[in-house]
Amino acid sequence: MLNQLKTPQLLSVLLSVLLCVMCVQTVWASSVEDKINEVFPDVKPDSVKESQIKGLYEIVKGNEIVYFDPITGYLIFGEIVSPKEKKSITAERKRQLREVKLKNMPLDKALKFGSGKHTVVEFTDPDCPFCRKAAAYLASRSDITRYVFLFPIPQLHPKAADKAKFIFCAEDKKKALEDVMSGKYDSEAFEICKDPKVEELLKDHKTIGESAGVTGTPLLIINGTFVDGANMPLIEKLLSDDPAAASKDAAEPKK
């Protein structure tokens, strides 16, 4: 039949077919999100898109990526590894997503210390022992520009939010941060700040952390590479003269 149509008619038919396919794809994508909501109502994805494997969908939530099969309704946790390059496609996607988050992060809201060649973004809880370990090391370096977001987790550390507000209110915020992180105010009394602007700033820090996918502290972003926890060997490598190897180690899937 197509070979009997004239060129204008043929183009019209092909255009109609294309529009129909696009319409079906839109409805299908919507139905996938509906299916996820139906099967896993507690999962609120940041984004849903078809993965490199046809019919398998990528779900992004915070810094995590899982996969969804709309036919069976199964959620799949793990890495997709390309057969040719033998590298993790999942890890590469996580790196891309984190780069976007870092680019859009409002660093002007952070507490900024130093002006060194290395850039460190730090999400920290004032009462977290692992945060204190990382903070002590970072405070000892003079070659970093440090952006600190205070991210108290009250379920674990009931006094952490008050200590965060104390730091915000202090005239010398760097000293206040170091004193708090050293444990000085674990037993010593400190003034609890009640400034509404400080309350709002703490909310901003929490919101920024949640947008970056922070679920635990410390979370560090060193020269663009994310480090979960006080992984001191990796932190030291990323701040060394040869951070490329450390970046590669951080991007590889954990075994």
Query: Is the per-residue pLDDT at 138 higher than 50?
Result: yes
Compute CA distances 3 → 7, 14, 15, 214, whole Å: 9, 13, 16, 59
Residue 161: per-residue pLDDT: 97
With cut-offs at 50, 70 and 90, classify the pLDDT of residue 224. confident
Least confident span in 17-26, 81-90, 131-140: 17-26
Of 155, 195, 160, 157, nearest in space to 177 by CA? 160
Specify the CATH number of the domain 104-251: 3.40.30.10
pTM exceeding the 0.75 threshold for the entire prediction: no
Which helix H or strand E contains 100, and what residues bound it? helix 89-103
* Same fold across 2-86 and 104-251: no
User: What is the spatial distance between Cα 166 and Cα 40, in angstroms, rounded to a whole number?
Assistant: 40
Domain residue extents for the chain: 2-86, 104-251
CATH superfamily of 2-86: Disulphide bond isomerase, DsbC/G, N-terminal (3.10.450.70)
User: What is the spatial distance between Cα 10 and Cα 28, in angstroms, rounded to a whole number?
Assistant: 27
What mean pLDDT is reported for the chain?
A: 85
| Chain segment 10-29, per-residue pLDDT in tens | 445 444 544 443 343 443 45
3-state secondary structure of 103: helix
Q: What is the DSSP letter of 72?
A: T
Strand partners, 59: 48, 66
Residue 173: per-residue pLDDT: 96
Residue 245: per-residue pLDDT: 55
pLDDT above 90: percentage of residues in the chain:
60
Residue 102: per-residue pLDDT: 80
Query: Is the per-residue pLDDT at 5 higher than 60?
Result: no
Query: Is the per-residue pLDDT at 223 higher than 80?
Result: yes
| Chain segment 170-189, per-residue pLDDT in tens | 999 999 999 999 999 999 99
b/e for 112-138, b at 16 or more Cβ within 10 A? ebbeeebbbbbbbbbbbebbbbbbeeb
